[in-house]
Amino acid sequence: VVHTVKEMRALRKELGGPVAFVPTMGALHSGHLSLMADAASENTSVVASVFVNPTQFGPGEDFNRYPRQLDRDVALMRDAGSVSAVFAPSVEEMYPSKPAPHAFFVEPQGLRSNLESIARPGHFRGVATVVSKLFNIVQPDVAYFGQKDAIQCLLIQHMVRDLNFPVRVHISPTKREADGLAMSSRNAYLSADERRVAPTVYRSLQAAEAAFRGPQRERRVAALRSATLEVLEREPVLSVEYVSVADLATGLEVATDLVPESGALLSLAVRLGKTRLIDNVVLREREREQSKRKGEGDGAAADDVMWLWAML
């Protein structure tokens, strides 16, 4: 476990390649551990970072109460045995205040109209900034992210392309509890009653997915959104922030109908008491998914972003 940029750079020189990187904010759960296991199975070395990044939290968000438990996280990673090194910097190490305050940020322009960006002003600027810094410090060959934060995945894919980071982005499918709730460090905030209601979030997405895949082959955005909302609204304690149907490659909202062969991301954010939960499913034609998995249709797979999503 190292805490400074200097130590991390020295350690990086010792690691055998390819080097994978799993950035986290700690409070690790099995979703993180499975990302690390995926990373270890496909690479020689795995670096994980644990850093609760202040610049991606807005005023009034949960930066102060976000769980910080480095010793427990390190013990979990040690037991799982997938990680070669952990980078756990302080805020001052990442955002020095002396001699002059840290003043450079990475500003994503493209995803500004995405509903998650609108709901959390400044959030993706903070994510893009810290992930750029971490990429520069760790210099991985490949970085692993979970599909639960789908817009974050898109953002990183776009950033890597636009700013020419020599890093491949790997997206692993969302890990879920047995009742379907997407694993998240924020689930720890839920009371027992809230925890009982929380699986409704995924059930609402499954309802829309059933309409998309079922005999009616629903492609109208309004109908897919209503199918989701209908399930969410059965639980009055859930307050819906948004339900988004966005193009899988651009992250932009789809206005009316899904184009048959291009994929869509159905994602949502709800509040359950004081906790904000997000989740998503990818809606795309099965035939296309399967042919991509088999490595067919290479022409279409030329688009990196689509190819990465097709790996899900």
List, by residue number, the catalytic residues. Answer: 32
Work out how close the CB of 89 gets to ligand PAF at its nearest, in angstroms, rounded to a whole number: 12
| Torsion sign across C-alpha atoms 112, 116, 118, 123 | negative
- Both tokens of residue 176? 């879920």
Residue 181 CA to residue 201 CA, distance in Å, equals 7
Three-point CA angle 123, 205, 114, nearest 5°? 30
**Considering beta carbons, is residue 12 or 123 the nearer one to ligand PAF?**
123
Residue 276 CA to residue 186 CA, distance in Å, equals 8
- Ramachandran angles phi, psi of 221, nearest 5°: -60, -45
Work out how close the CB of 49 gets to ligand PAF at its nearest, in angstroms, rounded to a whole number: 7
Work out how close the CB of 134 gets to ligand PAF at its nearest, in angstroms, rounded to a whole number: 7
Omega of the bond leading into 260 within 30 degrees of 0 (cis): no
**Considering beta carbons, is residue 54 or 297 the nearer one to ligand PAF?**
54
Q: What one-character DSSP code corresponds to residue 213?
A: H
Return the bridge partners of 17, or none. none
Residue 30 CA to residue 36 CA, distance in Å, equals 10
**Considering beta carbons, is residue 24 or 82 the nearer one to ligand PAF?**
24
**Considering beta carbons, is residue 28 or 254 the nearer one to ligand PAF?**
28
Work out how close the CB of 67 gets to ligand PAF at its nearest, in angstroms, rounded to a whole number: 12
Binding footprint of ligand PAF on the chain (CB under 6 A)? 23-25, 53, 56, 127, 130-131, 149, 152
**Considering beta carbons, is residue 15 or 155 the nearer one to ligand PAF?**
155
Work out how close the CB of 284 gets to ligand PAF at its nearest, in angstroms, rounded to a whole number: 23
- Both tokens of residue 140? 């991985």
**Considering beta carbons, is residue 23 or 89 the nearer one to ligand PAF?**
23
Which residue blocks in the chain are alpha helix, DSSP H?
Answer: 5-14, 30-42, 70-80, 91-94, 115-119, 123-138, 150-162, 192-197, 200-213, 221-232, 286-293, 304-310
Omega of the bond leading into 18 within 30 degrees of 0 (cis): yes
Q: What one-character DSSP code corresponds to residue 89?
A: -
Work out how close the CB of 27 gets to ligand PAF at its nearest, in angstroms, rounded to a whole number: 9
Residue 277 CA to residue 2 CA, distance in Å, equals 31
